[in-house]
Structure 1
Amino acid sequence: MSASDQRRSIFISGGASGIGRATARYFGERGWFVGIGDVNETGMEDTLGLIPGGFKYAHKLDVRDREAWETALAAFATAAGGRIDVVVNNAGIATGGPLAGLETEEIERCLDINLKGVLFGAQAAYPYLQKTAPGSCLVNIASAAGINGGSGLSVYSATKFAVRGIAESLDAEWAPEEIKVCSICPSFIETPLLDGTGNRKSNEPVRDRVKAAGLEITPVEEVAETIWNAVHGHDLHYLVGKTARKLNFAKRWMPGKVRKQGRMSASLLGK
């Protein structure tokens, strides 16, 4: 069987829940061979149970470990018949609160997972995407917090601005080899992250603060559909949810107003 006849495959980090799980299910239902990586092995088993058919694979992966990326992708490529068409850098955590009050370990953990994990994933994915180009794609999951930095979001926003920047850099760097690169920028998505508090000094779930602010919570399936469109499209950045689209518009055309509103309101994650 030639390479062009083989079943296309996708590997998703952070596949045990949330966006990773929804994306795995979305691509699996459309006939793709789906691989997921996560530190949560029980969650990965639950994800695999939602994917129809037998073309699915899970591998324990801590995205902070560069060698672990090599091992996970090599194992998945073997399971998928030697090819990887798409890698989704999805694994991430939320960290919020005033910078002065954040513990060093909180800052380093967010930087290691959200930023180093994306860079390591891109490095490890490159040779596989190179082989399946044209048509191969690296998808980085950013955030509306990567469009504008809000109060209490300095560390998280730093990582998500960086994730968008990495997509832009690699889009140029890998263009000669016809590897597509893009970022996905969701606003508040219905995932387990909303049930966390954002930082260790708060006991109020993020979900409650989002609802109190009157902001919408977008179904996670909308992100999965956007990733599908990105893999089959040609844009660089994709926005998901009304909040992300409104923020992107305002940041471009009314930056002064966005800055003023940011100074007047407390961050949802940092309060």
Structure 2
Amino acid sequence: MSAGETRRSIFVTGGASGIGRAVAVFFSERGWFVGIADIDAAGMQETLAQAKDGCASTHELDVRDKRQWETALADFAKAAGGRIDAVFNNAGIGDGGALADQDEDEITRMLDINMKGVIWGAQASHKYLAETAPGSVLLNTASLAGIIGSPGLAAYCATKWGVRGLTESLDAEWAEDGITVASLCPGFIDTAIIGKVNEESNQTAKETLLEQGVEVNPVDIVPEVVWRAVHGDDLHYTVGKMAKRLRFMQRWLPGMVRKEMRKTGIGVEI
């Protein structure tokens, strides 16, 4: 950063592991000040240890709690020198299985974290992003599951389609404020979300996916896409070849995608 240049800042939820950790470290190494937010205090400290010295702070945050959002962002703004340039609304969970068999608590938790948590984050961050606009960004993590509906992932898909819908609405709603709004749509990424063991198969979701020939990407491909999103003006950003291909097919060959999902699908219990 050159003399007199203002250091930019980004607030990252789900920063204790996975995509959030990779993005936090990547941005800190490029001179950004990063807010690492999560409910996992130990995980946040591990991320902080990997980030560039003096380029990050940690903030305990349960994204389901609107008041915690307000407190965490206010604290981060102070730590960042009074400004927030980007908010990466990334925290999320995944549970799968036949919808008829999923229990109420499981579905409610996904709705609260994956959907309501993103809405609360958007509400709480607007005033900060409006102050640093134009050029400020709200980036919401959707998914390949927000592009196509997959068997075994109905409730999860619903939350991620909701994130894409929210993103498109805010792209229009916040345009006059000069705030860029975009979504990140990764395919399957090698993180803890696909590392859980399915009791019936005694396999992880990752193992099942690989057996099915489904692409699983390393987490280190994600930060560069996030970097492009924070500096770009597209609405949706896919991560991985499969996500890019299926987004194209869903747009131009929806009948083929529907037939394939009915026949084989790409759903796994995550």
SS of the equivalent of 2:96 reads coil
Shift of 1:133: 0.3
Shift of 1:162: 0.6
Counterpart AA for 2:53: G
> For each residue in 1:30-86, what CA deviation from the matched residue of structure 2 results, as whole angstroms up to 9, or x when unmatched?
000000110100000000001112121001100000000000000000011110000
* Residue in structure 2 matched with residue 143 of structure 1 by the alignment: 143
**Contact 1:151/1:270, CA 8 A, preserved across alignment:** no
- The 4+ residue runs of structure 1 with deviation greater than 3 A are 200-203
SS of the equivalent of 2:181 reads strand
Q: Which runs of 5+ in 1 are unaligned?
A: none
**Alpha-carbon distance in structure 1 between the residues aligned to 2:168 and 2:197:** 31
Shift of 1:191: 1.1
**Contact 2:122/2:138, CA 8 A, preserved across alignment:** yes
* Residue in structure 1 matched with residue 212 of structure 2 by the alignment: 213
* Residue in structure 1 matched with residue 222 of structure 2 by the alignment: 223
Show the 5 A alignment for 1:71-150: 71-150=71-150
**Alpha-carbon distance in structure 1 between the residues aligned to 2:47 and 2:83:** 22
**Contact 1:209/1:268, CA 8 A, preserved across alignment:** no
* Residue in structure 1 matched with residue 158 of structure 2 by the alignment: 158
* Residue in structure 1 matched with residue 245 of structure 2 by the alignment: 246
Does residue 236 of structure 1 match 2:235? yes
Distance 1:202 1:176, change over 3 A: farther
Larger displacement relative to structure 2 (39-48 or 240-249)? 240-249
Task: Give the alignment's Cα RMSD to 1 decimal.
Answer: 1.5
Shift of 1:6: 2.4
Shift of 1:160: 0.4
TM-score by length of 1: 0.95
**Contact 2:205/2:269, CA 8 A, preserved across alignment:** no
Counterpart AA for 1:155: A
Shift of 1:110: 0.4
Shift of 1:262: 0.8
**Contact 1:206/1:268, CA 8 A, preserved across alignment:** no
Counterpart AA for 1:33: F
SS of the equivalent of 1:21 reads helix
Counterpart AA for 1:94: G
> For each residue in 1:225-263, what CA deviation from the matched residue of structure 2 results, as whole angstroms up to 9, or x when unmatched?
101001101100001111101111111121111111111
SS of the equivalent of 1:92 reads coil
SS of the equivalent of 2:216 reads coil
Distance 1:127 1:36, change over 3 A: same
**Alpha-carbon distance in structure 2 between the residues aligned to 1:88 and 1:166:** 14
**Contact 2:77/2:84, CA 8 A, preserved across alignment:** yes
**Contact 2:110/2:156, CA 8 A, preserved across alignment:** yes
**Alpha-carbon distance in structure 2 between the residues aligned to 1:71 and 1:196:** 32
Counterpart AA for 2:90: N
* Residue in structure 2 matched with residue 26 of structure 1 by the alignment: 26
* Residue in structure 2 matched with residue 13 of structure 1 by the alignment: 13
Counterpart AA for 1:204: Q
Counterpart AA for 2:126: Y
**Alpha-carbon distance in structure 2 between the residues aligned to 1:252 and 1:177:** 30
**Contact 1:11/1:37, CA 8 A, preserved across alignment:** yes
TM-score by length of 2: 0.95
Shift of 1:203: 4.3
* Residue in structure 2 matched with residue 259 of structure 1 by the alignment: 258
Counterpart AA for 1:93: I
**Alpha-carbon distance in structure 2 between the residues aligned to 1:106 and 1:202:** 20
Counterpart AA for 2:207: D
**Contact 2:222/2:239, CA 8 A, preserved across alignment:** yes
Shift of 1:116: 0.3
Shift of 1:202: 6.3
> For each residue in 1:69-114, what CA deviation from the matched residue of structure 2 results, as whole angstroms up to 9, or x when unmatched?
0000000000111100000000000111100100100000000000
**Alpha-carbon distance in structure 2 between the residues aligned to 1:237 and 1:266:** 23
Percent of aligned positions with the same letter in both sequences?
55
